[in-house]
Structure 1
Amino acid sequence: MALHESALEELGLAPIWMRRGIARHAAVADDAHAQAEGADAATRAAASVDVEARGEDVAVRAAAVSADNGTGNGNGAARAALSREAGESQTEPQGAAASRRETTSDEAHRTPPQPARRASAPDAEAAPPDDDFAWFDDLPAEPPSHTEAQVARPAQPAVDTLDWSALEERVSACEHCRLCEKRTNTVFGVGDREADWMLIGEAPGENEDRQGEPFVGQAGKLLDNMLRSLGLARGMNVYIANVIKCRPPGNRNPEPDEVARCEPYLQRQVALVKPKLIVALGRFAAQSLLKTDASISSLRGRVHEYEGVPVVVTYHPAYLLRSLGDKAKSWQDLCLARDTWHNAAPQDTQAGASK
C-alpha cells in the first residue's frame, strides 16, 4: 500500500486520484438524486444525508493523502486512518451497507410525509375540544324540587269540593289526558241540576263535540221520545251527562286511563244532583259505572248501584237506531227504571213529576 502511494506521489498522480474519487462520488450522488426525483420530501432528505456522508468520506481521504504528501508523520497518521477505515470496511460485509441504504430508502418511500406540527398548532388551539360541555351551563344545577313546583303553580281545590260553576270551569280547562288535544268543546252536561233522574252516556260524538251538549242529533231525538213516554223531558226532572267529557278521536272507546282521569268530574256531578235513579245508556257507560266487564245483556233486567244511587242499564239510543228490534227490550228497561224511581222517590215528588 505504501509503495503504491509512493509511486503515485513520484508520478504526480495523487491529485488525479483524488479528482477521480471525487468525480466518482459525485456521480453516485447524482444518480441517487435522479432516483429520488418525484419522491416525497422525506425521501429527498434521506438521499441528501447519504450524499453528504459520502462527501465527508471523500474529504477525509483527501485530507489523509495531503497530510501524507506533506510530512512523514502525516503520512503515518493518514495510513493509520486509512487502515482503520479499511478494517471497519472488512468487519462489515459489503452487502450490509448497501442493504441498510436500500432499507432506509424503502422506509422513506413507505412513510408518508408528516405535516408540520407548528403550522397546525394555531388551528388546533382555535378549534373547540370535542368534549366541550359549555352549552350545559344554561341548565339548572339540579331539577326543581316538588315543593318549588307547587309554589310556582298553586294547588287547585279538590274536585269533590267544587260547586257547579267551579266544576264546569274546571272541566272546560281540563288537560289531564290526551283527549283535550283534538276536542272542539268539552261536553259538561245539561238539564235540571236538582233532578231525580240522571241519564249517563258514554262520551260525546261529533255533533256533541261541535255543540258542547250531550245527546244531540238523531240519537238525541230518540232519547227525547223515550223520556216523553215516561212523562219526562230534557231539563225537567232529568239531568244528562257522559262518563267522558271530551270526544275520543274517531268515536273510539275511551281508554282506561282516560276514564280514570275524568271519573272524578262525574262523581262530583252525581254528588251535586243527588238523583234518585241513574239510567246507564249503553255497554260502555254501564261497565264504567259498575266497574265490570260483563255484557249489557247480562246487566239488563236488574238494579245495580253507583255511589249509593240505584242504577238501571239499557241500550244506547244510537244503538237502537241501528237495531230497531231491541227497542222493545229498551222499553222494558225504562219500565224497570220508573218502578225503581217510584219506590225511591217521595210521593210528593212523584206527584209533581206526573203533573
Structure 2
Amino acid sequence: MNRRAELAEYEAMVKECRACPLRDGCRQVVFGEGNPEARLMLVGEGPGAEEDRLGRPFVGAAGQLLDRILIAGKFPRPEVYIANVVKCRPPGNRLPLPNEVRACRVHLDRQIEIINPQIIICLGALATQTLIDPNARITRDRGKWARKDGRLIMPTFHPAALLRDPAKKRPVWEDIQKVMAVYHDNAVI
C-alpha cells in the first residue's frame, strides 16, 4: 500500500476515535494534511475554532502566519505535512490535558511512522514536550536540534505565540534558517 492510501485508511480510523472526551466537544477530527511523503513535518498542539470548523490544521490566524513562515523558508505548504499532537479541539482552546495527549499520541506516532519525515518542527511547548522530552522548556530549548528515531527535530515557538509577542519572530526565523540549511543545503548536524 502506498503512503497516501495508508494515511487515508488510518485517517478514517482516527475519525472514529473516542479514546478521550475531546471528541464529544468538537465538530470534527482534524487529522492533518499535506504531502504523505514529506521530508518535513510540522507538529502543533491541537486544532482551534477555525480548524475545527474547516477540518484542516493551521487555517486560522496562526495558520496564516505559519503559511508566511513556510513561504519564507521555501517550504511550499503542499510539500510538507502538518499535524497536531491532539486531533480534536480542546474546549475554549485550552492546552490538551495529559490524558488527552496520551490518548492521541498513538495517532501522531502512526502519522510520523507512515510519513517518515527526515525533519520535524515542533511548534510550541506541548509538541516539544511530546516528541522530544517531557521536561523540555520551549524558551530554553527552542532552536536546538534534537535527534530521535533517526529524525532531526527542531523546537520553536508556536505561531500563536508570535501573534501575541512579535519579538519572538526573530528567534523563529533563526530556527527556520537552521532547518533550511539541513533541508535545502544538506548541512550536517
With the length of structure 1 as denominator, give the TM-score of the two structures. Answer: 0.50
Cα distance in 2, alignment partners of residues 212 and 202 from structure 1: 15
Counterpart position of 2:14: 171
The letter for the 2-side match of 1:313 is P
Counterpart position of 2:64: 221
Structure 1 residues 159-201: Cα deviation after superposition (integer angstroms, max 9, x where no partner) = xxx9222210111110011111111010001111111110100
Identity of aligned residues (%): 43
Structure 1 residues 80-114: Cα deviation after superposition (integer angstroms, max 9, x where no partner) = xxxxxxxxxxxxxxxxxxxxxxxxxxxxxxxxxxx
2:71 is paired with a residue whose SS is helix
Candidates 292, 297, 314, aligned match of 2:134: 292
2:83 is paired with a residue whose SS is strand
Candidates 164, 167, 181, aligned match of 2:24: 181
The Cα of 1:344 is off from its aligned counterpart by 7.0
1:207 is paired with a residue whose SS is helix
Counterpart position of 2:47: 204
Q: Given the superposition, is the C-alpha separation of residues 344 and 263 from structure 1 closer, same or farther in structure 2, using an over 3 Å criterion?
A: farther
The letter for the 2-side match of 1:332 is E
Q: Given the superposition, is the C-alpha separation of residues 261 and 306 from structure 1 closer, same or farther in structure 2, using an over 3 Å criterion?
A: farther
Candidates 286, 310, 332, aligned match of 2:174: 332
The letter for the 2-side match of 1:197 is L
Cα distance in 1, alignment partners of residues 143 and 160 from structure 2: 20
The letter for the 2-side match of 1:241 is A
Contact 2:142/2:156, CA 8 A, preserved across alignment: yes
The letter for the 1-side match of 2:141 is L
1:163 is paired with a residue whose SS is helix
Greater fraction strand? 2
Cα distance in 1, alignment partners of residues 33 and 121 from structure 2: 15
The letter for the 2-side match of 1:234 is R
Counterpart position of 1:250: 92
Cα distance in 1, alignment partners of residues 160 and 136 from structure 2: 20
The letter for the 1-side match of 2:31 is F
Contact 2:128/2:136, CA 8 A, preserved across alignment: no
Greater fraction helix? 1
Cα distance in 2, alignment partners of residues 320 and 170 from structure 1: 34
Cα distance in 1, alignment partners of residues 117 and 132 from structure 2: 17
Which residues in structure 2 correspond to 1:18-167 (within 5 Å)? 163-167=6-10
Candidates 80, 83, 93, aligned match of 1:241: 83
Structure 1 ranges of 4+ moved more than 6 A = none
Contact 1:276/1:344, CA 8 A, preserved across alignment: no
The Cα of 1:293 is off from its aligned counterpart by 2.2
Counterpart position of 1:260: 102
Cα distance in 2, alignment partners of residues 249 and 305 from structure 1: 33
1:332 is paired with a residue whose SS is helix
Contact 1:203/1:242, CA 8 A, preserved across alignment: yes
1:185 is paired with a residue whose SS is coil
Counterpart position of 1:272: 114
Which has the larger Rg?
1
Counterpart position of 2:74: 231
Counterpart position of 1:71: none
The letter for the 2-side match of 1:196 is R
The Cα of 1:219 is off from its aligned counterpart by 1.0
Q: What root-mean-square deviation, in Å, do the aligned CA atoms of Structure 1 and Structure 2 show?
A: 1.6
Structure 1 residues 214-264: Cα deviation after superposition (integer angstroms, max 9, x where no partner) = 00121111111101111122112x010001000111111111111111111
The letter for the 2-side match of 1:243 is V
Gaps of at least 5 residues in structure 2 are none
The Cα of 1:291 is off from its aligned counterpart by 2.8
